[in-house]
Each structure stands twice: as structure tokens, then as C-alpha cells.
Amino acid sequence: MAETVGEDGTARKDHGVLYIGMDLGTSRTSIACSNGVRETVASVVGYPKDVVARKLLKKDLLVGQEAFDNRPALDFYRPLAHGVIKGSDGKGDAEDAKRNLQAARDLVRTAIGLAKPRKDELLYCVIGAPAQASIHNQRAIIEAAREIVDSVMLCSEPFSVAYGLDRLTDVLVVDIGAGTTDLCRMRGTMPAAEDQLTNTFAGDHIDQTLLEQIKAKCPDGQVTPNMVRQWKERWASVRDTIEPIRVQIPVRGAPTEVDITDAMRTACRTLVGPIVDGLQELISTFDPEFQDRLKNNVLIGGGGSQIDGLSDVVEREMRRRLGTGRVTSVEEPIYAGANGALKIAHDMPAEYWEKVR
Amino acid sequence: MILGLANSLFRLFREHSDVVSVDKLKKDGVRSVTVLDWSRIDQLIAKAVDEALKKRGVELPADALQSVNQQAREAFARLLEQRDLWRDSAQTLEQQKNELEANLNRLVVELDTARSQLTREKSHRVTVADVAVGRAQMDSFALRLKDGLVELFKGSSADASPELARAAAELAEHLLADEKARALAAAKQEQDARIDLLERRIAKLNGMLASSDQLVERLKAAKSLDPGIESEFREVQGLNTADANAGAKRGLLEQIFKLNVELREAIGKDSPPAGGSAAAPR
């Protein structure tokens, strides 16, 4: 069990190989590793605002729930938005973009640290990154990971989901994240640009719509995006009939019960139309002889796939618009991307890993 | 023996499993969980042993195989216990580190207070105003004055009063100056004792601070000695050639590799990204 040390004093990586699969998402970052570790953290990063906060928190960096819980004392970052690192398009404030980039790096580093790797094992990591991530984004992700791992590769998120489930041909993967919904057509080869579509009707859009709906129903109620997100995570549903959802909302300081059942259903259903639009586009541009296969092989993954009844309602809408459709949700929405990335890492030949070190 | 080991495994699993609430699992998106009973684990260990032996082309007689299986089960149980011991010791170390850090903070505060007290003492010159004269000292001074006056007036006539009065005043002045000097010397001695005490206190606190600092560093280093969790694999795996989709997967993996090579080339040509330093954003 003891690790061996090389002539230069560093641990020799001769004990084994640890594969890490990571799904770097707008809302959550998950890892699955070949040592059995599976972890997920909220994709948020915080740095103590001042010396007092640093002394109190005894840390220079907080990630995930810990950052959420201490956010009044922190410079708080949610570094990914709409599937990419905020500000990386060069449109916003340069200083803000720089900070978000650094926060994304710290998020990647922390996520890899959660794998609890041994010092004497080779670390090979595949990161499922947003398909539309820019070179700057990908560079930041790769550089952050390379500080810890021996070799790292990126691949598109929906592809890793499909690979993990061995669904490589004639399947349509819908990956519903917080910032974007990615649709990917798998046809046995690496998906090309025309095989992938992205829209922003995703988790954040539901939150925004739900917030607006609640504000319209209860104009004096004090509701924060975080409260709305928690309600969504607990009760999201698109079903025609659902149990009444009643929440407590402070109105002029007094907790007031508000029924948000219809608001929740309406907000969640805003995803259905754009998903079926995307599916229709990817199906209609496919070989007509194989279109039915695609229609009957739709796989929904990502955090959004936890919306109760979503696969049924998408299937119903597909039947209405496309004549037929069969939709299934992945078994483990939080880890499907990371599991797939882990499988890719495992299957990747040794010489490829060596060449990208 | 087997039953004993089974019970032991069962106990280990029960005692050392992490408890996760159903709510938490639901929140994490887990819809179903795979349940392994101990007999299945036992079977899996036997299967793993069997496969490992087959892979190495080793064929064992039934009794030897049973013995190897038994050893594998025992090793598995030991590993479970080891992992838990590591976790416990890591928790203890973390707790010790936190306590030491809190102690360190207290020491720093105490040291600051002692240092400012010392600075105050050293910069303060003792004067008569600092001299507190006690009752006993007053009594002693009055007695000496009385004795002196009695001695002075012994055998004196009434017409010698002006000289006597002057001599009495001089005596009183002399005695008072003597008393002041004594009191100042005592006060100075007390101040020196206080300075000496503070200097020794500061030296001691500095020593404690240094050793606590070293302890914290050692604990941090010890924590980093956590060996981590061992991977399932001793060597690079690669695609299983027996995989039904091996051909298609090989092509896909090659494409992923090529895309990553191209990405690195593009990154090489691209200018460094903003925020390239490892420092936290401020």
C-alpha cells in the first residue's frame, strides 16, 4: 500500500490508474470515478469578502452547498451560464469575465479533488463540457484539470450520456441542464455540428417563468430565485393532474400560503415545445428511411429530466406532431453524463492518453 | 468459520455504511438504488477470484480454491476496516487541527496584549506620583521623626527655640527625602520585576506559538498523507475487444482523441486566457 518515491522526490505513479468522468454543468458538477467515488456539487464558488470573513470561515475557497450557505460573507460566483463560462464571449465586463474564469477553474480543481485520488496513481480524466464552449472556455477547463490530473480530454455532454448508456446509433439525446437544453443526434459516429442543437429553454428558464407567474399571482410576496429553484427541484411536474403545491411566501413580513400548482405546471411546460421543435428539426434532416428509428429512440437526461411526467408529455407532443415517438428518461440524471465520461476514459487507449499529456 | 466471517462482514457493512436519507437521494436525482445483500457480495468476491485466476491461466483444486476465496473475503473485510480507520483518523486530525488553530489565535491575542503592556512599562518613568505610601510606612516614618525630635530637644533651653525649630525642619526634610528615595527605589524594583515577568511571558508565548505553528503544519502534512481511495485498475484499460460495439466505439474514441489534439493545437495558437493566474479572483 505504501507509495513509492522517484529520484526527484515525487511520488511515482506506478500503483494504478484512476479514471475520472466529469459532467461540468451550469447548475451541478458531478464526477464518477474508477475508485467508486461519485460526487456532485452545485456549480457555485465563493471567496471570503474580507479578512474577517476569511478568519471566520477558515478557508480561502468555498464550493457547492458550503458556498451557498455562506454567500452573504462571500464574493459569490456561478461561473457557468447558458452552458459556457460567463463573460467568455468578450461582450461583458472584462474584470468580471476574468473572475468567472478563475471561479470555473477552481470549480474543476475542487471537483477532481473530490475523487480522493492516490498520489501514486495515474489520473486520466474525461470532462463532458458544453458542446458550444469556446476555445477560451475549453482552455480554462483543460488548464484547471491539468494542474491535478496526468491527462485530460473533453467531449460533448450529450455524447457522453449516449456513450455511457451504449446508445450510439439512431438515438436522439436531450440533455436538459440549467442553462441550456442540448439535443444530439447519434448515428454511430462523432456528432457533427449539424447533429447538435442547443436552446436556452432549460432549468433557469423554468425558474424565471415560475418567478414571474408567482409574482403575477402574489404581487406583494417576497420571492427569491433561490426559493423558486428549491420549489422547482421539489415539485417540478408537467402532468395534467398533480397534487396541489402550496408554499409559504412572506408578504409584508407575514408568511402567506400560496398555491403555485398551475404556475409550476405552466413554467415546466415551457420546455416541451422547444424540445419537440428541436427533435423535429433533427429528425426531418435525417435519412428518411431511418427517421422512425430516431423518433422511437429519444433519451432525456440532465437535471431537467427529473421533471415529473416530462417524457410522457414530450412523447405525447411528438405523436401529435410527428405521428409517433418513444421517449425514455435516463436512470440517473445527475450522474449519467459523468458515468458516460468515465466509460470513455476507461475505453480510451493508453497511447491516446500519452499523446495528450 | 464461514458463518463467523459472514456475520463479521454483515456487521462491518452495518456499522460502517454511510446513512443517506431517501429525501437526499431523491434530491440528488436517484430514483432507484441497487441493493446488495451480503450473500451476493460473497458471491461477487468468489467470482472476482475465479475470474482473476482464469485470466492468469491458473487452475486450482476445489479445496485450494475455497481457501483462496476465504482469504479474499478476509482481505475484503480488512480493507473495509482499514478504510474506516483512515476516515476516523482523518476526522480526529481535522478536529485536532481546528482546536490547535483556535489555540493559536488565543496565543496571538495574549502575545499582543503582553507586548503592548511591556511597551507601556518600558516607556513609563517611575516618579513619586507612582509611589503609594502604605500605613506601615507612614507609621515608621512618624516614629523616626518623633525619635529624631526627642533626641534634638534633649537638654535644650527655651531660648534656643529658633535654632531648634530650624534643626527640626532640616531633620524632617532629610527624613522625608530619605523616605522618598526608599519608596522610589522600591517602585522601580517593582517595575523591573513586572518588565522581567512580561519579557519572560512573551518569550514563553513565542515558544508556545512556534510549537503550535509547527504542530498545525505537521497536522496539515499528516492530513495530506491521506492515501486517497484506490482505483479499481492497476493498469490502463482500453476498449474491451469483446464489446459488441467495439468497432464503432474504437472509431468514436479515435475521433474524440483527434478533436482533443486539434483543440490543443488551437489553444496553442490562441492567446492566453484572461485570469490566467492561479490566484483567487479579488
Yes or no: say if A38 and A60 are a contact pair by the CB < 8 Å rule. no
pLDDT of residue B2: 46
pLDDT band at A236 (very low <50, low <70, confident <90, very high): very high
Yes or no: say if A331 and A306 are a contact pair by the CB < 8 Å rule. no
Q: Which residue has the higher pLDDT, A131 or B211?
A: B211
* Chain segment B167-207, per-residue pLDDT in tens: 787 888 888 888 888 888 888 888 899 999 999 999 998 88
Residues of chain A found within 8 Å of residue B280, distances taken between Cβ atoms: 47, 60-61, 102, 106
Cα(A319)–Cα(A316) distance, integer angstroms: 5
Which has the closest alpha carbon to A170: B246, B245, B282, B101?
A: B245
Q: Is the pLDDT of residue A211 over 80?
A: yes
A&B contacts, CB < 8 Å: 170
**Closest chain A C-alpha to B248 CA, distance in angstroms:** 6
User: Mean of the pLDDT values across residues A65-83?
Assistant: 88
- Collapsed DSSP state (helix, strand, coil) of residue A169: strand
Minimum CA–CA partner of A135 in chain B = B267
Which has the closest alpha carbon to B175: B155, B151, B150, B146?
A: B146
- Name the amino acid, one letter, at B158: A
Cα(A293)–Cα(A230) distance, integer angstroms: 37
pLDDT band at A70 (very low <50, low <70, confident <90, very high): very high
Yes or no: say if A13 and A150 are a contact pair by the CB < 8 Å rule. yes
A47, B280: Cβ pair inside 8 Å? yes
Distances (CA, A) of B225 to A9, A117, A120, A132: 15, 12, 12, 40
A237 strand-pairing partners: A308
B252, A37: Cβ pair inside 8 Å? no
Closest Cβ opposite residue A190 in set B226, B235, B255: B255
User: Mean of the pLDDT values across residues B132-139?
Assistant: 73
* Chain segment A10-26, per-residue pLDDT in tens: 556 667 899 999 998 88
A349, B233: Cβ pair inside 8 Å? no
Q: Is the pLDDT of residue A201 over 90?
A: yes
Q: Is the pLDDT of residue B279 over 50?
A: no
**Sheet with A121-129, side-by-side order of all strands:** A38-42, A28-33, A16-24, A121-129, A151-156
B275, A355: Cβ pair inside 8 Å? no
Cα(A309)–Cα(A315) distance, integer angstroms: 10
Q: What is the mean pLDDT of chain A?
A: 89
* Chain segment A265-294, per-residue pLDDT in tens: 999 999 999 999 999 999 999 999 999 999
Residues of chain B found within 8 Å of residue A100, distances taken between Cβ atoms: 281
pLDDT band at B219 (very low <50, low <70, confident <90, very high): confident
**CB neighbourhood size of B160 (10 A):** 11
pLDDT of residue B158: 59
Minimum CA–CA partner of A19 in chain B = B231
Yes or no: say if B73 and B45 are a contact pair by the CB < 8 Å rule. yes
Minimum CA–CA partner of B261 in chain A = A356
**Closest chain A C-alpha to B101 CA, distance in angstroms:** 10
* Chain segment B76-131, per-residue pLDDT in tens: 777 777 666 777 777 777 777 778 777 888 888 888 888 999 999 888 888 777 77
Q: Is the pLDDT of residue B250 over 60?
A: yes
Element holding A198 (H helix, E strand): strand A196-199
**Closest chain B C-alpha to A175 CA, distance in angstroms:** 14
B230, A348: Cβ pair inside 8 Å? no
Cell numbers for B247: 468497432
Residue A213 CB partners (closer than 8 Å, separation 6+): A260, A262, A263, A266, A267
- Residue identified by cell 429519444 is A298
- Name the amino acid, one letter, at B239: L
Closest Cβ opposite residue B281 in set A36, A99, A303: A99
B230, A47: Cβ pair inside 8 Å? no
- Interface test mutation site (partner B, options A138, A152, A167, max chain B beta carbons within 10 A): A138
B245, A166: Cβ pair inside 8 Å? yes
Cα(B29)–Cα(B116) distance, integer angstroms: 58
A97, B31: Cβ pair inside 8 Å? no
Cα(A265)–Cα(A206) distance, integer angstroms: 10
pLDDT of residue B29: 64
3-state DSSP helix/strand/coil percent for chain B, to nearest 5? 75, 0, 25
Closest Cβ opposite residue A61 in set B228, B275, B280: B280
Distances (CA, A) of B114 to A27, A307, B125, B198, B199: 51, 63, 19, 6, 8
Minimum CA–CA partner of A192 in chain B = B255
pLDDT of residue A3: 45
Q: What percent of chain A has pLDDT over 90?
A: 59
Cα(A258)–Cα(A250) distance, integer angstroms: 10
Cα(A229)–Cα(A27) distance, integer angstroms: 11
B29, A190: Cβ pair inside 8 Å? no
Residues of chain A found within 8 Å of residue B253, distances taken between Cβ atoms: 344, 347-349, 352
**Closest chain A C-alpha to B230 CA, distance in angstroms:** 6
Compute the half-sphere exposure of residue A137: CA atoms within 13 Å on the CB side of its CA. Answer: 23
Cell numbers for A5: 518515491
User: Mean of the pLDDT values across residues B43-66?
Assistant: 80
Closest Cβ opposite residue B236 in set A17, A103, A136: A17
Closest Cβ opposite residue B270 in set A19, A139, A168: A139
Q: What percent of chain B has pLDDT over 70?
A: 80
- Interface test mutation site (partner A, options B86, B97, B243, B256, max chain A beta carbons within 10 A): B256
pLDDT of residue B212: 80
Yes or no: say if A3 and A330 are a contact pair by the CB < 8 Å rule. no
A35, B231: Cβ pair inside 8 Å? yes
Q: Is the pLDDT of residue A322 over 90?
A: yes
Q: Is the pLDDT of residue B222 over 90?
A: no
pLDDT of residue B282: 31
Closest Cβ opposite residue A334 in set B29, B232, B245: B29
Residues of chain B found within 8 Å of residue A356, distances taken between Cβ atoms: 257, 260-261, 264
Residues of chain B found within 8 Å of residue A187, distances taken between Cβ atoms: none
B230, A118: Cβ pair inside 8 Å? yes
User: Mean of the pLDDT values across residues A50-54?
Assistant: 87
Yes or no: say if B169 and B123 are a contact pair by the CB < 8 Å rule. no
Length of chain A: 357
Residue B134 CB partners (closer than 8 Å, separation 6+): none
**Closest chain B C-alpha to A252 CA, distance in angstroms:** 31
Kindly provide the b/e burial profile for residues A266-282, where b requires at least 16 CB atoms within 10 angstroms of the residue's own CB: bbbbbbbebbbbbbeeb
Cα(A82)–Cα(A98) distance, integer angstroms: 17
Return the HEC string of chain A: CCCCECCCCCECCCCEEEEEEEEECCCEEEEEECCCCEEEEECCEEEECCHHHHHHHCCCCEECHHHHHCHHHEEEECCEECCEECCCCCCCCHHHHHHHHHHHHHHHHHHHHCCCCCCCEEEEEEEEECCCCCHHHHHHHHHHHHCCCCEEEEEEHHHHHHHHCCCCEEEEEEEECCCCEEEEEEECCCCCHHHEEEECCCHHHHHHHHHHHHHHHCCCECCCHHHHHHHHHHHCECCCCCCCCEEEEEECCEEEEEECHHHHHHHHHCCHHHHHHHHHHHHHCCCHHHHHHHHCCEEEECHHHHCECHHHHHHHHHHHHHCCCCEEECCCCCCHHHHHHHHHHHHCCHHHHHHCC
Minimum CA–CA partner of A137 in chain B = B273
Mark out the alpha helices in B225-270 (DSSP H runs): 246-269
Least confident span in A317-326, B3-12, B223-232: B3-12
Q: Kindly report the CA angle at A270 between A268 and A273, in degrees rounded to 5? A: 125
Q: Which of A80-89, B173-182, B252-261 has the highest mean pLDDT?
A: B252-261
Minimum CA–CA partner of A306 in chain B = B29
Cα(B115)–Cα(B158) distance, integer angstroms: 63
User: Mean of the pLDDT values across residues A254-259?
Assistant: 94
Closest Cβ opposite residue B249 in set A102, A233, A347: A347
Residues of chain B found within 8 Å of residue A332, distances taken between Cβ atoms: 29-31
pTM comes to 0.67
Q: Is the pLDDT of residue B61 over 80?
A: yes
Q: Is the pLDDT of residue B258 over 80?
A: yes
Q: Which of A293-302, B87-96, B143-152, B165-174 has the highest mean pLDDT?
A: A293-302
Kindly provide the ipTM of the predicted complex, given to two decimals: 0.86
**Closest chain A C-alpha to B43 CA, distance in angstroms:** 19
A75, B263: Cβ pair inside 8 Å? no
**Closest chain A C-alpha to B200 CA, distance in angstroms:** 29
